Structure 1
Amino acid sequence: MPFLLPLLLLGSQAYDPEIEAVMNRKRKEAAAAAASSTPATAGGDGRIPVPDKYAAKFQACLDQAVEAPDKGIAFAQQWRIDGGSFYARNCMGFAYARAERWAPAIIAFEQGADEAERNGEMVQSGRLWAQAGNAALAGGDAAKARDDFDAALARGLPDGVEKGEVHLDRARALVALNDGKGARESLDIALEQVAQDPLAWLLSATLARRSGEMKLAQAHIARAVQLSPDDASVALEEGNIAVLSNHEDMARSAWQRAVELAPDSPAAKAAGDNLSRLPASPPAE
């Protein structure tokens, strides 16, 4: 099937299934942040655990940022003057990120991280460095993102989801920097820390495919499919790996599933393009 190789190589430049999966996750987390009534949540929604002393003001700041980023920025600036500590800077970074103003978002998160560290809050500092890294990654500065993720990990994030998610994002930055070896090291740690996250297995499978490690790619995409059978991005990558492993029927089935799962998504479009380049199925006897 040599005619399919240029298709897949070109497709990987125009569309990355893992990027679609990450963006879907970020959109869901942003929606959860907007709907949530409690600020005591750590993760990709732009927030960190907040003590009771700051919780009400922090939630009000987030609400302003969700309603209109400029309002959130103004609220955070005044709150910082009034003693909001690094929690005000966290909200400021969140508000800038909502407006997709990545450079000031990075600055706000990094300043918050430094302030948290000066206050002896090393884990909180690590969480804010991770937020800065995500802002840098969203803004297209992979080198800055890598440095911020390294800073986050150096602050001693606890084992589990938080550390695993930082390693996932660090791997994405390293892929963008063409550091496949470093990306693999971070992904292997992430697979240990967040073994139930299908995105970790999808990222790992995609990197293995690009590195020519097809057995590893097959094993890891199978795990991603098991964990997330209704994800079009996972189905697309399953097909990509199958066709490069000389399993055309499996590729056809996976790509068709991607189209059916999310017809209007970029993953479905990429899968449809791949299907259009496959030879017609032989007639049933």
Structure 2
Amino acid sequence: MILALLLAAQAALAPSPSVQDEQRFQACVSLIEADADKAITQANDWRVRGGGFAARHCLGLAYAAQARWAPAAVAFEQAAREAEAAKDARAANLWVQGGNARLAAAEYQAARGDFDAALASGVLEGDKAGEAHLDRARAAFALKDMQGARSDLDQAVKLVPADPLAWLLSATLARMMNDLDRAKADIGEATMRSPDDASVALEAGNIALLGGAPDAARTAWKSAIASQPESNAARSAAAALKALDAETP
């Protein structure tokens, strides 16, 4: 999923100012799916020959295609710094890509730093700003900074209200902060937008149980198992069901 986000972000960027650089960048990106190793070699050769942030950008995408998240993050961050030095607004998107790679590498403090840089640029607006707030919230959540996550999720649900993940994470955070009313409201929003998502159903069950509704929790967890039986969420739901049944006389 993260790779898809990275590639989508790449596609949203404007082409390099140089037609030659644009063509070389597109050729490099096109090569990634067929032969990521060759794309890495070409991107590095282009970088050494003065390819600038476009070469580093392709290098990062090629590493990401191989799930080599740490070197991908370094390439994206270097590209972002070069873009900033060139006063190029695309630096913000490159910081976001770096942050997502850091998240995938479980390097949460570094990820938050990248999202900080992206949002501080003032370039991101609308959906892009909302998704950056959501991603920074994920980093804050992993770092156990609940207040930081709450602040970013409040922005995310305002800016990208159609994204079920924003509502799901907001509901989960509310539950963990013992704000049951907020948790119920937000998981309802997530369920409305993604009714067949096992992760949403799992969390709905967690919230129902916390609210003293074990039957509703069972129903939600069974839905998680039925909708995506091979998912981690379904396995967690099955474990929760087993534990609840063991506690029930």
User: Normalized against structure 1, the TM-score is what?
Assistant: 0.79
How much has 1:27 moved relative to structure 2? Answer: 5.9
Q: Deviations over 1:163-188 (max 9, x none)?
A: 11111111111111111001100111
Q: Which residue of 2 aligns with 1:131?
A: 97
* Structure 1 portions without partners, runs of 5+: 1-24, 34-41
The counterpart of 2:170, out of the listed 204, 209, 218, is 204
How much has 1:191 moved relative to structure 2? Answer: 0.9
Q: Which residue of 1 aligns with 2:130?
A: 164
How much has 1:130 moved relative to structure 2? Answer: 1.1
Compare relative contact order (CA 8 Å, sep 6+) and give the higher one, 1 or 2. Answer: 1
Separation of aligned partners in 2, 1:147 and 1:62: 26
Q: Which residue of 2 aligns with 1:22?
A: none
How much has 1:82 moved relative to structure 2? Answer: 4.8
Q: CA contact under 8 A between 2:92 and 2:124: conserved in structure 1?
A: no
* Structure 2 portions without partners, runs of 5+: none
In the comparison of the two structures, how many residue pairs are matched?
244
Query: Going by fraction, where is helix more abundant, 1 or 2?
Result: 2
Q: CA contact under 8 A between 2:208 and 2:214: conserved in structure 1?
A: yes
Relative to structure 1, the CA distance from residue 130 to residue 28 in structure 2 (aligned partners, 3 Å threshold; closer, same or farther) is closer
Q: Deviations over 1:212-250 (max 9, x none)?
A: 111101000000000111111111111111111111121
The counterpart of 2:24, out of the listed 57, 65, 87, is 57
User: Normalized against structure 2, the TM-score is what?
Assistant: 0.90
Q: Which residue of 1 aligns with 2:38?
A: 71
Q: Which residue of 2 aligns with 1:146?
A: 112
Separation of aligned partners in 1, 2:239 and 2:171: 21
Separation of aligned partners in 1, 2:4 and 2:100: 16
Q: CA contact under 8 A between 2:170 and 2:186: conserved in structure 1?
A: yes
Q: Which residue of 1 aligns with 2:185?
A: 219
Separation of aligned partners in 2, 1:266 and 1:127: 30
Moved over 4 A (4+): 27-30
Separation of aligned partners in 1, 2:207 and 2:44: 49
Q: Which residue of 1 aligns with 2:2?
A: 26
Q: Percent identity?
A: 49
The counterpart of 2:86, out of the listed 112, 119, 140, is 119
Q: Which residue of 2 aligns with 1:189?
A: 155
Separation of aligned partners in 1, 2:219 and 2:178: 22
